[in-house]
């Protein structure tokens, strides 16, 4: 019996020997208790979670020097070294973890200090399912506030800026030629198909010091890091055919898409306002190769397209229509690498090469040009803490443009320009608390054409006033080298420059978002020339100037009505410029004072269909009537467009898609072209610049053939 007692005593001793109670309290910075924080001794299983009052208590058998860890979701983890035998109850104060909070808010909308105020991130699916966009990234962006619908151009015009004031980037590397080639007053499309991209960020001003040589806007496209599976996509459309293939290996993957577009059948069915000698034909291919390293990702993106058309266009200055034909070849290669050098330092580097070649015939004149553009960039990002991050980087651009003009097949003129730009940038991201954040940036660049270093400062500030709403402000000054159209004739032009002042309010609650943004932009050193066209006889200078101010409103709601997602945009703009060959400071022709659009998408479960309707409205745009005394004093009638789309899921793998733009056939007028000289009665005759056709119809059949036969092509429309 004694021995039993001995054993029990021994067991008892064994289990109580060296037991220590660890207790204490967990609070936030303001002294409020934190419940459910995990408190434990690192390397053991001994621990507990704090209760409603923030108190915790547990027993440990550990001895000697130990590390106590206190962790809780959105707070910075505390590690406390102590000697078990000396432990005294402690109150631990947890600091909010900015990084974690950041991530939490991003899922409900976006919050990145500075950038958040002016960036709207759209999902690729939003683009392809927007009625009227026909898979064109740019057309979908035109349903956002701050943009102008310029129907005869098809390019992005942002807040009183010209289309070439926007720079496009793929994986952080610039795209020199983002648009397809086109003729005068015939809209172009963005060159990129949206489904290769996982994220599209569109900034309408005040952007980071990482981006330069853009006066109005940057469009950032990020390609997919990792495709989902091996699959083949087949599309048969009224406008052509497409074939895509994705192959995935353990560490790498390869995607390729090819398409052949021929608008002949469409042009046959739908009455056209233009005589087409040869329809638009385009053959294009894109491919992405990705390779995953241990701590980084390499992407190589290549795109090629060749397009051609031939048409006769009415010109008020000639009795007969003017023949215009074009062949364009475009090649773009982009290589980027993103990875971690250390736990706290990230590197992003890459280069791109863009090559564009045009052969254009205008009546008997011939124009042949080509542009070669290179971009190299390196950026390092060091995280000193969750509250302070520093980016530094450098980049180089090289542009070489040559053009040859042949007059009636006899006289030949050769001209062009070369420009080398070096730029350095640095940006600090500072969080004072989870509610207050700053971005401070500085950029300096030198274009060989100007041979002068610019100093550009960028500042943004965000203040969160409540859980769902915040204010932000941004300031920046920006420089851009003059556009190729001028530089090819005058290679001594200075930078054009602008400053942005932006005030933003944003409200974001699951599924609902409201943004209001007021801005002012001040333009200076804009290029002016004399004569009717910028050509080699014109005199050029940088004496132009202008301003732009306005208010942008945006509301998106995908929650109130089940299966309905819609957004409404309204922009008011007041902008004037004295540039080009203008007589005085006036509102340029691409600006409409009021812009309104509503995009709706409704998922009809019973019909397995998504139905989309988009309505856009612009007030009239100014034009100059040379018969009137005042310059640019007349306005076109307003612009209206209702577009409809219908995607029907035949089965998991097959989709039928139907869309029609401008369903009411509203005959929109974008402006007027006036004759260069008056007629016998002393009047300048004019012709309206209109849509190439009143409506655009599209029917497509999309089929995905994959290993598992269950995905479909809806993403790819």
Partner 1 sequence: MTKIITIIALFVASIVSAQTQFEKGMGSALKLWSEGKNTEAIAQFERIALVEKTNWLPNYYIALINTTQAFQEQDKIKVVALLEAAQKAQDACNDLAIDNPEVIVMQAMIHTAWIVYDPMTNGQKLYGDVMFLYEKAEKIAPNNPRVVFNKASFEKGGAEYFGQDTQPMCEKIKASIELFANFKPETPFHPNWGIERAKQEAENCK
Q: Does 678 bind partner 1 (CB under 8 A)?
A: no
Residues 496-555 binding partner 1 (CB under 8 A) are 510-511
Q: Identify which of 496, 713, 693 has the alpha carbon closest to the alpha carbon of residue 610.
A: 713
Tell me the torsion sign for CA atoms 533, 536, 537, 543.
Answer: positive
Q: Does 12 bind partner 1 (CB under 8 A)?
A: no
CA 189 to chain centre: 15
Stretch that binds partner 1, among 135-143, 223-231, 397-405, 530-538 (CB under 8 A): 223-231
| 76, 69 contact by CB (below 8 A) | no
**E strand or H helix at 388:** strand 388-407
Minimum gap (Å) between residue 554 Cβ and partner 1? 19
Q: Locate 32 and state its tokens.
A: 């409020």
**E strand or H helix at 706:** strand 696-706
The residue from 9, 63, 103, 345 that contacts partner 1 (CB under 8 A) is 103
CA 236 to chain centre: 29
Q: Does 77 bind partner 1 (CB under 8 A)?
A: no
- Count CA atoms within 13 Å of residue 92 on its CB side: 31
The residue from 543, 594, 608, 637 that contacts partner 1 (CB under 8 A) is 608
CA dist 353 to 91, 190, 301, 379, 451, Å?
A: 59, 18, 11, 19, 23
Q: Which residues pair with 430 in a beta bridge?
A: 388, 438
157: left (phi over 0), alpha (psi -120 to 50) or beta: beta
The residue from 565, 576, 624, 694 that contacts partner 1 (CB under 8 A) is 565
User: How many Å apart are CA 142 and CA 452, to the nearest integer?
Assistant: 35
CB-wise, 44 or 533, nearer to partner 1?
A: 44
Per DSSP, the three-state class of 204 is coil
Other CB atoms closer than 10 Å to residue 432's CB: what's the count?
Answer: 12
| 523, 561 contact by CB (below 8 A) | no
The residue from 651, 664, 676, 683 that contacts partner 1 (CB under 8 A) is 651
Other CB atoms closer than 10 Å to residue 313's CB: what's the count?
Answer: 18
User: How many Å apart are CA 331 and CA 512, to the nearest integer?
Assistant: 41
CB-wise, 105 or 693, nearer to partner 1?
A: 105
Minimum gap (Å) between residue 228 Cβ and partner 1? 5
The residue from 123, 323, 404, 635 that contacts partner 1 (CB under 8 A) is 123
Q: Does 680 bind partner 1 (CB under 8 A)?
A: no
Tell me the torsion sign for CA atoms 202, 205, 211, 216.
Answer: positive
Minimum gap (Å) between residue 561 Cβ and partner 1? 13
The residue from 16, 19, 43, 465 that contacts partner 1 (CB under 8 A) is 43
Q: Does 36 bind partner 1 (CB under 8 A)?
A: yes
Minimum gap (Å) between residue 71 Cβ and partner 1? 8
Q: Which residues pair with 360 in a beta bridge?
A: 326, 367
Question: What are the DSSP calls for 45-73, one per residue?
Answer: S-EEE--TTSEEEEEE---SEEEEEEE-T
Q: Which residues contact 385 (CB under 8 A, 6 or more apart)?
A: none
User: How many Å apart are CA 605 and CA 418, to the nearest integer?
Assistant: 57
User: How many Å apart are CA 156 and CA 332, to the nearest integer?
Assistant: 20
Minimum gap (Å) between residue 701 Cβ and partner 1? 17
User: How many Å apart are CA 652 and CA 658, to the nearest integer?
Assistant: 18
Binding track, positions 338-367, relative to partner 1; x by CB under 8 A: ------------------------------
Q: Which residues contact 594 (CB under 8 A, 6 or more apart)?
A: 570, 571, 572, 617, 618, 619
Q: Does 254 bind partner 1 (CB under 8 A)?
A: no
The residue from 9, 59, 73, 604 that contacts partner 1 (CB under 8 A) is 73
Stretch that binds partner 1, among 33-41, 77-85, 445-453, 626-634 (CB under 8 A): 33-41
| 431, 505 contact by CB (below 8 A) | no
Minimum gap (Å) between residue 484 Cβ and partner 1? 39
Minimum gap (Å) between residue 131 Cβ and partner 1? 16
The residue from 317, 652, 676, 683 that contacts partner 1 (CB under 8 A) is 652
User: How many Å apart are CA 311 and CA 295, to the nearest integer?
Assistant: 53
Q: Does 44 bind partner 1 (CB under 8 A)?
A: yes
Any idea how long the chain is? 717
Q: Does 712 bind partner 1 (CB under 8 A)?
A: yes
Stretch that binds partner 1, among 45-53, 473-481, 525-533, 569-577 (CB under 8 A): 45-53
The residue from 20, 23, 38, 359 that contacts partner 1 (CB under 8 A) is 38
Per DSSP, the three-state class of 42 is coil
User: How many Å apart are CA 286 and CA 297, to the nearest integer?
Assistant: 19
Q: Locate 328 and state its tokens.
A: 């364009």
Minimum gap (Å) between residue 107 Cβ and partner 1? 5
Per DSSP, the three-state class of 307 is strand
Q: Does 4 bind partner 1 (CB under 8 A)?
A: yes
Minimum gap (Å) between residue 647 Cβ and partner 1? 10
Residues 262-321 binding partner 1 (CB under 8 A) are none
| 330, 283 contact by CB (below 8 A) | no
The residue from 125, 234, 367, 516 that contacts partner 1 (CB under 8 A) is 125
Stretch that binds partner 1, among 100-108, 112-120, 182-190, 682-690 (CB under 8 A): 100-108
CB-wise, 88 or 107, nearer to partner 1?
A: 107
Number of shown-chain residues binding partner 1 (CB under 8 A): 46
Q: Does 45 bind partner 1 (CB under 8 A)?
A: yes
CB-wise, 228 or 275, nearer to partner 1?
A: 228
Q: Locate 714 and state its tokens.
A: 């809806």
CA 416 to chain centre: 30
Stretch that binds partner 1, among 110-118, 268-276, 579-587, 706-714 (CB under 8 A): 706-714
Residues 228-247 binding partner 1 (CB under 8 A) are 228-229, 231
Minimum gap (Å) between residue 428 Cβ and partner 1? 28
Stretch that binds partner 1, among 104-112, 166-174, 372-380, 528-536 (CB under 8 A): 104-112
CB-wise, 19 or 510, nearer to partner 1?
A: 510
CB-wise, 71 or 382, nearer to partner 1?
A: 71
The residue from 251, 273, 492, 710 that contacts partner 1 (CB under 8 A) is 710
User: How many Å apart are CA 717 and CA 710, to the nearest integer?
Assistant: 17
Residues 566-605 binding partner 1 (CB under 8 A) are 603
CB-wise, 303 or 717, nearer to partner 1?
A: 717
Q: Does 67 bind partner 1 (CB under 8 A)?
A: no
CB-wise, 195 or 401, nearer to partner 1?
A: 195
| 659, 198 contact by CB (below 8 A) | no
| 497, 525 contact by CB (below 8 A) | yes
Minimum gap (Å) between residue 39 Cβ and partner 1? 9
Q: Does 649 bind partner 1 (CB under 8 A)?
A: yes
Q: Does 13 bind partner 1 (CB under 8 A)?
A: no
CB-wise, 502 or 613, nearer to partner 1?
A: 613
Q: Does 715 bind partner 1 (CB under 8 A)?
A: yes
Minimum gap (Å) between residue 35 Cβ and partner 1? 9
Q: Does 380 bind partner 1 (CB under 8 A)?
A: no
Per DSSP, the three-state class of 170 is strand
Residues that bind partner 1 (CB under 8 A): 1-4, 7-8, 11, 36, 38, 40, 42-49, 71, 73, 103-104, 107-108, 123, 125, 228-229, 231, 510-511, 563, 565, 603, 608, 649, 651-652, 706-708, 710-712, 714-715
């Amino acid at each position: 019996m004694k021995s039993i007692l001995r054993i029990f005593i021994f067991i008892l001793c064994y289990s109580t020997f060296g037991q220590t109670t660890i207790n204490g309290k967990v609070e936030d910075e303001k002294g409020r208790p934190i419940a459910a924080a995990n408190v434990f001794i690192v390397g053991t299983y001994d621990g507990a979670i704090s209760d409603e009052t923030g108190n915790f208590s547990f027993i440990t058998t550990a001895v000697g020097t130990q590390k106590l860890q206190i962790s809780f979701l959105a707070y910075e983890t505390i590690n406390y070294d102590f000697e078990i035998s000396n432990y005294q109850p402690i109150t631990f104060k947890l600091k909010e973890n900015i990084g974690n909070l950041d991530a939490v808010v991003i899922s409900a909308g976006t919050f990145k200090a500075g950038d958040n105020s002016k960036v709207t991130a759209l999902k690729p699916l939003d683009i392809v399912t927007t009625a009227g966009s026909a898979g064109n990234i740019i057309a979908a962006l035109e349903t956002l506030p701050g943009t102008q619908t310029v129907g005869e151009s098809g390019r992005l015009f942002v807040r009183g800026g010209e289309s070439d004031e926007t720079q496009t980037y793929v994986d952080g590397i610039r795209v020199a030629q983002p648009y397809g080639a086109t003729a005068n007053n015939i809209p172009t499309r963005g060159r990129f198909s949206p489904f290769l991209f996982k994220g599209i960020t569109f900034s309408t001003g005040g952007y980071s010091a990482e981006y330069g040589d853009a006066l109005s806007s940057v469009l950032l496209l990020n390609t997919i890091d990792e495709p989902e599976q091996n699959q083949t996509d087949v599309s048969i459309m009224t406008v052509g055919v497409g074939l895509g293939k994705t192959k995935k290996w353990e560490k790498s993957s390869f995607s390729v898409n090819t398409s052949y577009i021929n608008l002949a059948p469409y042009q046959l069915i739908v009455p056209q306002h233009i005589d087409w000698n040869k329809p638009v034909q385009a053959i294009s291919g894109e491919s992405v190769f990705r390779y995953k390293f241990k701590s980084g990702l390499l992407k190589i993106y290549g795109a090629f397209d060749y397009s051609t058309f031939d048409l006769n266009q009415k010109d008020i200055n000639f009795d007969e229509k003017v023949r215009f034909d074009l062949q364009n070849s475009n090649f773009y290669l982009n290589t980027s690498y993103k990875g971690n050098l250390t736990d706290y330092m990230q590197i992003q580097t890459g280069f791109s090469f863009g090559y564009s070649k045009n052969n254009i015939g205008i009546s008997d004149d011939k124009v042949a040009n080509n542009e070669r553009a290179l971009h190299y960039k390196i950026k390092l990002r060091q995280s000193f803490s969750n509250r302070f991050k520093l980016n530094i980087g450098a980049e180089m651009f090289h542009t070489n443009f040559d053009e040859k003009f042949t007059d009636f097949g006899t006289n030949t003129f050769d001209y062009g320009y070369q420009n080398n730009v070096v730029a350095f940038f640095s940006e600090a991201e500072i969080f004072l608390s989870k509610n207050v954040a700053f971005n401070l940036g500085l950029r300096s660049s030198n274009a060989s054409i100007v041979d002068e270093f610019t100093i550009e400062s960028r500042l943004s500030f965000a203040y969160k006033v409540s859980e769902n709403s915040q204010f932000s402000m941004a300031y920046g000054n920006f420089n851009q080298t003059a556009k190729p159209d001028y530089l090819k004739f005058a290679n001594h032009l200075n930078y054009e420059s602008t400053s942005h002042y932006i005030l933003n309010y944003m409200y974001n609650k699951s599924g609902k978002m409201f943004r209001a943004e007021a801005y002012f932009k001040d333009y200076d050193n804009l290029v002016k020339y004399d004569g009717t066209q910028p050509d080699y006889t014109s005199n050029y200078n940088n004496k132009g100037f202008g301003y732009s101010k306005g208010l942008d409103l945006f509301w998106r709601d995908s929650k109130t009505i089940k299966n309905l997602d819609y957004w409404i945009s309204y922009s008011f703009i007041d902008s004037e410029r004295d540039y080009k060959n203008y007589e005085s400071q006036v509102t340029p022709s691409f600006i409409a004072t009021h812009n309104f659009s509503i995009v709706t998408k409704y998922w009809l479960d019973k019909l397995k269909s998504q139905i989309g309707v988009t309505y856009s409205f612009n007030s009239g745009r100014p034009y100059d009537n040379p018969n009137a005394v005042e310059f640019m004093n007349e306005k076109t009638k307003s612009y209206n467009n209702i577009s409809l789309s219908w995607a029907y899921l035949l089965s998991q793998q097959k989709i039928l898609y139907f869309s029609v733009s401008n369903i009411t056939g509203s005959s929109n007028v974008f402006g007027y072209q006036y004759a260069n000289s008056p007629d016998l009665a002393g009047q300048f005759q004019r012709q309206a610049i209109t849509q190439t056709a009143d409506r655009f119809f599209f029917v497509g059949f999309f089929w995905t053939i994959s290993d598992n036969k269950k995905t479909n092509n809806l993403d790819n429309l």
